[in-house]
Every structure is written in C-alpha cells, then in structure tokens.
Amino acid sequence: MKRIFLGLTLLASFALAADLKYDVSVNGRPTPDPAIVVNGKTYVPLSVLKTLGIPTALQGKTLILGTQTGVVPGGANQRVSLEGCVGDTLFNGIWRMTVKKVEAIGPDVGLGPGWGVTVELRNGTTTRTSLHDTGLEAIDLVQPDGNTLVFEERGAEEGFLYKEISQAGGVTYQLRFHTQSARTPASEVPRPAKLIVQLNPKRLTAGYLMAAQVAYTTPTPSFRVGLTCQR
C-alpha cells in the first residue's frame, strides 16, 4: 500500500531516497509511521493528521485536508464536521466519540415513538470537563428527508450533557429522540440518517480549561455520524 506524505510541497513521486527518518509522537503516543526528510524538507504521513482528527481525502489529483464547507440543495450552509459511521471512533482533540448502537424506541414524555442512539464519549484531555463546557451547541438526529426528531433532554442533562468526565474517563449513554406527536405510528418513523453533535470551539469555557491548555486540534470539531453505515 502506498503512503502519502504531506510537507511544504507535495511530491508526485517519492523515488528519491529519504535523507532521514523521525519517529512521530501525537499527544504523547507513538505512531507507527515515521516522518521523513527529503532534500531538507520534512514530510509527515497523512495517518498522523487522521490521528489528530483532521480528515483527508484524494479527489483526482487534489489532496483535500479538513472537511470542505459546501452548499446543500435549498441554499443552506452545511456545517463542517468530523464524519464517520456507526462503530467509528472520532477524535477532535478533546473528545473521542463512538456511536455504538441505533434502535427504535417507544413513546415517552408526551412525545411519539422514535430512535435511541447509544453513544460512548471519552475525555481525551488531561483535565476533568463536560460536553457542555467544551462548546456544545446542539445535538440533532436527522431523518432521511432532512427533518429532525425531538431530543429528549430529560436525564441527558446530568447523564451526558453536563456530566463531568475525568481524564481518560468516559460515559456510555442512550440519546433518545422522538416524533412530536404521540399518535404517530412507529412504522412511519424511518431509521435516521445521521447524528450531529455541534461543537463551537469559540465557546470553550474560560478559566480552568484555558489554564489546563484544553483546545480542539481541528477547527471543525463537530461530529457527524452516518447511521446507515457501520464499521
């Protein structure tokens, strides 16, 4: 398998022998692929960028870093995010999030039937913090037609949204979403298309988080998980 390296410039071919190799450490952990020096320039493998939560993709002869901001039909701006499938662990420098399971749920709290999404959230920082304190704006479950279900915040506030998680600690919680009407038949609520956890890096709570040097390693830390694919 060919490895692609990123530097100040991109080489079309790496026929030239590497002058020097460096072991690479990301957030204190060694990575399997080394950095290389060619003609005095250091090149880092794309696998390192992926470890930092920076999406990469090849489109023809163009190497794309990060998630591109586009316009979806209707003129709405699509929010850039870290993207994955059920079973993928996505990391934005603060949180490691994995969607474990998606299952149908019945009516509750005056709302109709819907879907439960079981999520594992782990703290990747060196300090205790919560999802709310790290810029959480919204959690949406999007249906195939683009509409969203109603998020059941009761219980989620203490169990997931505001729960302070210690260094390397985690929580597994079922996020619950419902249709607005209790009369809606469950058969009319299709499997959701994606879960979006919107995080705004500009809303990181000041004070102890800044003192602990807590920061996202990507300018697009939101999570967008496709629920129709699984790995």
What separation in angstroms does the CA of 172 have from each of 72, 114, 160?
32, 19, 8
Residues 6-49 have pLDDT tens digits of 443 333 334 445 578 888 887 677 888 888 888 888 888 887 77
Mean pLDDT across the stretch 82-98?
Answer: 94
> Span 82-230: which CATH code?
2.60.40.1240
**What pLDDT was estimated at residue 228?**
92
More confident residue, 64 or 197: 197
Q: Where are the domains of the chain?
A: 5-65, 82-230
Global pTM value: 0.65
Helix or strand (DSSP H, E) at 139: strand 134-142
Query: Which segment of 19-23, 85-89, 121-125 scores lowest on mean pLDDT?
Result: 19-23
Cα distance between residue 219 and residue 86, in whole Å:
23
Distance CA 178, CA 163 (A): 23
Give me the chain's average pLDDT, please. Answer: 81
Q: What is the pLDDT of residue 72?
A: 39
Taken in order 95, 65, 8, 58, the sign of the CA dihedral is: positive
Q: Spell out the residues 6+ positions from residue 155 whose beta carbon is closer than 8 angstroms to its own.
A: none
The set of residues, in sequence order, having a beta carbon less than 8 Å from that of 2 and lying 6+ positions away, is: none
Q: Name the more confident of 80 and 168.
A: 168
Q: What does the alpha-carbon distance between residue 98 and residue 146 come to, in Å, rounded to a whole number? A: 22
Query: Which pLDDT belongs to residue 35?
Result: 87
pLDDT in tens, 59-82: 666 777 765 433 333 334 344 579
**Distance, CA of 119 to CA of 78 (rounded, Å):** 23
Provide the pLDDT for residue 46.
80
Comparing 45 with 103, which gets the higher pLDDT?
103
Write down the pLDDT at residue 17: 53
